[in-house]
Structure 1
């Protein structure tokens, strides 16, 4: 099977057997500015992996793609995915069929990250937890009673639209208030408004570690935004565990987890959930795609075997 993580900055593609072992993998910067370029990139990567493993496209049982946003099955568009321009157009999603001539499944990337964390990471054995990804965008995967919860339209966990912070979504169309202030762009924008010379959100967090006072103010604002968002999540879902992931989760987890947990204690009615940083990091989406794909591929092979018996 083929597992694909499509992000704004990187694409990760892995080829795995039905045991779950990855036999080939490639990660490279994403050509996300245009759907045609991204499809060409994914098609080329899949062909390279197959050739390197001595396989053909016919050997692929199933492909699983993880992307930001919500798949509108009626129009074939990808909604709420501003980091993938052009994918909001009707029929855009159907072009994924060009990557490999095999059945494919499309899942929200943060939902897959939650599945990956449950199968291979901190979510193992935890019945109620959420995976919160904070990076170029913000999203949340929800696990209830050990199962992924998608909601009625697949939009469960779109916490980027929570009314947290002072952001104005009209300034950044397609982005919610929470995402406007707490994503990488929001962190960088606040740092620059306060006079900090930084090129990336990582620069801001590195400066905070070094003791820079202005960067410390930005970090405090980020902690406050995240804690207020999680207070809403805790009030509605009552998770046992919150796993922080995404680019900011990876870059600044050591700066965020403790302070967010401490701030959250004063915002919730009962005991706050545990706050931990993802143990599988940037591989969460890819591992989730593998977990989903392996289950589906095994079922498919079993059905074909029974039909031939």
Structure 2
């Protein structure tokens, strides 16, 4: 798989489909901090989005989507001067999967929340801004629009298999939003996710993900990208925020953590399969990255 698929597979995102919101004119709702990543799509109408700790509100129009990547309270409103009502008062009365505010008819929203059961959720969440806004006018947004419309039909229609369908649609939308966000010309950031847009550094990350047990050297990775050792090391650190060998070690420990949590493999076997000649060397690296010994990590996961 490619590095983005690798990480999402490791994090095991699970979507929890939220109810739709059908709002009438002149409305404002105050939402509590979400758990995990919150995804929403505007099917009709428009509104303002304000998120605690961000400088500017975001104007949302029909077809727009957004991710809330951090646990921060937020508000959505047709008019920023209106006093917001608590979301609980609106969502306490849900009918056919839709909450109604002020009679509905002017604005409709669907969404999901993504939780992560795998180790190292900060691999994704920690490098994204608090709000990722994708406009309906973005390139390649047609795939996203199809998924949004289909999710709305599933929520409203109660079709057989609708729950599983909406869960898979939510995963498609999460992946597509990340793709669109990374391809935007004004997107800047530091981290493995942003580095994938760089052809040479992305090639090196892909190679490390494809063969994590290989005894990679800085020279080998630099030669693969057609760069000198010093140029490659400097550019990798600028793009990813860490040195190439440190990134490789962290990725190996993420893979090890998954196996420690989900299998009964001996620690020595896991160590050898990830390129470590001794269990002690592996354990030292694991504790440095994961802040726990492999045995303690496995016990905590089992508990």
Q: For the superposition of Structure 1 and Structure 2, which TM-score range results when normalised by the shorter chain?
A: under 0.3
